Amino acid sequence: MKKIILIFIMLCMSMVSYAKEEKSPENKIRLAVIPFDDSITLAGENEKAAKNIAASMEGLLGNNERFYLRPANAIGNYIETLTKVQLGLANPDSIKDEGKKLLVNYLTVGSISKFGERYEVDARIVNINDWRIVHSYGATGSTTSGTIKSVGNSIEEKFTLNYLNKRLDDKIDRPTVSVYKFKEFNTRPELDGISGAFAEMLNSQMGEFMEVNTIELKFAKALVDEKQYEMAGVIENDNSNASYNNKGIQYKVSGDIRVFPDVICINYTIHNTSDSKVISISSIEVTSSAALRTAAWSAATEVEQEINSRVGAFKLSSKPAGAKVFIDEEPFGSTPATLYLDKGVHNLRLTLQDYETHEEKIEILPRKVNQVNVNLKTISLQLLEKAFSLESEGNCESAVKCYNDFIAKYDKTTMANQALYRKGHLELLKLKRPKDAMATFNTLLKSYPETMIRAEGYYGLALTYFAIGEIEKAKETVKFLLEKYRETSAAEEARKIKF
């Protein structure tokens, strides 16, 4: 009996200890509420309910001992800068790491839309440094107080330190995605703002999933100065994919909404931001705006499944680091890198100055971290040095053979393009074989688009055209060389050609 009592006392003590730990100031979740967006629908904007909703959210969070709430008026400057960022008037990096100064780790953001007598409220809690959604909830109701109460219940029930730690566990590789934007192709007056409302709902629904990292819509859109593209008339060809990819967002979801008398058609596309490829295109039809949130849930579920079933994480490292990465001949930055690639077999190529090009086939499996570590081999300069020696001795035929052997062994390396240039030079000027020289210079220009001696390649090609009597082609090549590489020594030599 004494043993049972002792165990009971120990359990009670541990529960008290846990409760103190959960409520101690240093273990509280530090957050703030920033103004909600009520401008999505005309009815919502006219009602101006955002301020009251934000105040209600502050009241809900401030009354919870789990949180340390920083009042909005204490972070006014931050909110002002954030507003400029969201409007594309300030660099997103200007607000990075501001959380430490503000004593805030998380922000509560959201929106309110109104259709008829129905309110749609979406609230999301995001990491202040990377704008990753760590909790989200969307509610539909006939009153703002009712919807806010639903949001508050969700936060009270779910948003704990334990839940937060699971969301932020970086040991789990999760693809990163963000909603970009939805367009309205046509609408009815009572459905004004339907595309923006759906984007908010989709953002909230995706933010609930644990298998993906979702970057908050309001921040992700600020990565692209959309207004500039709209003014230039090229919004369809904007640079959002590159901007998103540079910030570590691997996928974006965008779409459009078309309203017909008896149906609302929602079309959406998932893009891989690294190569702009379309992962999937889907559509959902609903009969009224009351079904938008259900449609958003269906779309979010499909997006999560598509990304996690079609792609796999690929961790790549090389020794030494800094090698350029090419997947299926498309550039993917440099090592070390964590990429998200379509499942299946891909061609991997790594290049680094003074090292052999590494090529291999890799198989990417979905829902799995595929890892490759490459030890790059140093290029042996023995053949190249022998070719230089033979060339200086006047043994041009043997030098060309050595250059050919070096090119065959070290194809697609920076040293191989130099061997090609020397080979073409000998074929043209010493061995008097202009056709062979032309093939060599064309190979140099075609196979090595990033070579530092491209100008020399065009100069050699111009000399070759001149040697075989194709004067117009020689002139065209010189003209191109002078336009693109006017400050090079090759351009100076080209100017001396007397046509």
DSSP state of 442: H
Cis check: omega of the bond before 175, within 30 degrees of 0: no
Q: In terms of DSSP bridges, do strands 278-286 and 337-342 run parallel, antiparallel, or are they unpaired?
A: unpaired
Residue/partner pairs of 380-387 with CB below 8 Å, 24 or more apart = 381/415, 383/409, 384/415, 384/418, 384/419, 387/419, 387/422
pTM above 0.85, yes or no: no
pLDDT, mean of residues 160-187: 86
pLDDT at 451 over 60: yes
What single-letter DSSP state applies at residue 376?
Answer: P
pLDDT-based confidence at residue 338 (cuts at 50, 70, 90) = confident
In the chain, the amino acid numbered 84 is K
- For 229, counting Cβ atoms within 10 Å of its Cβ (0-12 exposed, 13-18 middle, 19+ buried), the class is middle
Within 13 Å of residue 20, how many CA atoms lie on the same side as its CB? 6
Residue ranges of domains in the chain: 21-169, 312-375, 382-494
* DSSP 8-state code for residue 39: -
Q: Which CATH class is domain 382-494?
A: mainly alpha
Mean pLDDT of 339-353: 89
Let me know: does 494 contact 459? Beta carbons within 8 Å. yes
The pLDDT, as a whole number, for residue 263 is 93
Cβ neighbours around 340 below 10 Å, total: 22
Confidence check: pLDDT of 236 > 50? no
Q: What's residue 478's pLDDT?
A: 93
Do the beta carbons of residue 418 and residue 440 sit within 8 Å? no
Q: How many CB atoms lie within 10 A of CB 445?
A: 17
| pLDDT tens column, 279-328 | 889 999 999 999 999 999 999 999 998 888 877 888 999 999 999 999 99
What was the pLDDT predicted at 482?
92
Look at residue 98 in the predicted model and tell me its pLDDT.
Answer: 61
Could you please state the CATH topology (level 3) that the domain comprising 21-169 is classified under. Answer: Rossmann fold (3.40.50)
d(C-alpha 214, C-alpha 263), whole Å: 29
**CA-CA distance, 202 to 254, in Å (whole number)?**
10
Query: What is the structure's pLDDT at 237?
Result: 45
Q: Do the domains 382-494 and 312-375 match in fold? A: no
Query: Confidence band (pLDDT; 50, 70, 90) for 44?
Result: confident
Q: pLDDT (tens digit, 9 = 90+) per residue, 194-212?
A: 999 999 999 999 999 988 8
Per DSSP, the residues of 160-190 read: -HHHHHHHT-TTS---EEEEEEEEEEE--GG
Determine the topology of domain 312-375 in CATH: Immunoglobulin-like (2.60.40)
Which range (32-46, 224-238, 339-353, 383-397) has the least confidence? 224-238
Q: Which residues of 42-62 are buried (b: 16+ CB within 10 A; e: fewer)?
A: ebbbeeebbebbbebbbebbe
Residue 160 has pLDDT above 70, yes or no: yes
Tokens representing 232 are: 């230039």
**In the numeric block, which tokens belong to residue 65?**
């001992």
Which pLDDT tens digit goes with each residue over 104-141? 889 898 899 999 999 999 999 999 888 899 999 999 99
Give the residue-averaged pLDDT of 467-475.
94
428-444, pLDDT tens digit by residue? Answer: 999 999 999 999 999 99
pLDDT at 412: 77
pLDDT of 354 strictly over 50: yes
The per-residue pLDDT for 83 is 66
Q: Are strands 106-115 and 330-334 parallel, antiparallel or unpaired?
A: unpaired
